[in-house]
Amino acid sequence: MTPSSSKSGPGVRSLKRVLVVDDSAFSRRALRRMIERSPDLDVIGAAANGEEAMRIVLRDKPDVITLDLEMPVMDGFAFLRWLMAERPTPVVVVSARDDDPSIFKAFDLGAVDFIGKPTARASEKIGAISDDLLEKIYAVAGLDAAKVSRRLEPRPASPRDSGTISFPSDLEVVALGASTGGPPAVQAIVTRLGPAFPAALIVAQHMPAGFTRQFADRLALLARVSVREAVEGEEVRPRAVYVAPGGKNLGIERGRGGLRTRLTGQEKDARYAPSVDHLMRSAAEACGARSAGVVLTGMGNDGSAGLSAIRAAGGVTIAESEATAVIYGMPREAVRAGAAMHVLDLPEIVEQIGRIGETGNR
């Protein structure tokens, strides 16, 4: 366990305080170097296991924690359970594998984002990893971590929207976009779908290759409808969920046989693949008023232009409210652009989408 740094103190401007938790000495040093590139972040300590981390949390009260999951003495899962019960704090998981299914267990326990672990063999990628890590820490540093566990709890009806949203009777596609904080929200929507759901639900979740396959497999185990990671050229069927693969853009096209998936590479100058804008624009073009779009939590503005395209085509558009979005970036930009017809808390979005096709709700 390393002591607090001297970067903070009287006369020093307020910095975001970061705790690094990892059993690998190499990773602790690498993460500290990455984080301390920023003049706005202060690494207040580093712990080799959950027990050491508990003591630092109680003593120094960090604003953000980077967390390894596999550690001796107390692993990351046990630490997350304790943390969210005793002192909820935003957590970015640092994973050694690019397809680790345990990431999703960490999300269930309250973690809000993840990143690949820096290794000696990945030294040539260290700059990109560092930039990504800093962006994620900045995004979650001011977050009320207790909000993560509360966001799926039912809330009083909002005066902005009441009753059931009217979706077209011939609805073909619901395009869903999310980034930071998105996996639990997407899971809640997918697991609410029943056999009466008449459309295809197509998901663009900002997530690297490997993780999207694990995400789709996890959803398939929990859902009552078919779920798979999308592949090129497959038929888009109703009562099915298609997850865009990481590193690719997923769109849909209409041909003689109906709707089919279309996978393409990351667009020039685009920050994300899969791109929410790309998916939603293709849905608007292929399905017009028989499409719907939902923008959930996340950084940046991906989804704003795509949701605008769906609305312009006559489709139904929804953005998650600030009250429940872990990061109110993507939904906020969609609202500012006038793209969202409805702004709803996450539990209401789950119910509105889940009721599509049920008796009297279509």
Are 310 and 284 in contact by the 8 Å Cβ rule? The answer is yes
Using DSSP's 3-state secondary structure scheme, residue 95 falls into: strand
Q: What is the DSSP letter of 161?
A: -
114 bridge partner residues: 93
> Is-contact 261 250, C-beta < 8 A?
yes
Catalytic residue among 27, 95, 113, 206: 206
Q: Which of 24, 27, 95, 179 is catalytic?
A: 179
> What is the token pair recorded at 346?
């996450």
Catalytic residue list contains 304: no
Catalytic-labelled residue, pool 302, 308, 321, 345: 302
Q: How far apart are CA 328 and CA 287, in angstroms?
A: 28
Handedness of CA 133, 135, 137, 140 (dihedral sign): negative
Q: Give the max Cα distance, the chain.
A: 70
278 is catalytic: no
How many whole angstroms separate alpha carbon 215 and alpha carbon 194?
Answer: 19
Q: Is 206 a catalytic residue?
A: yes
Active-site annotation, residues: 179, 206, 302
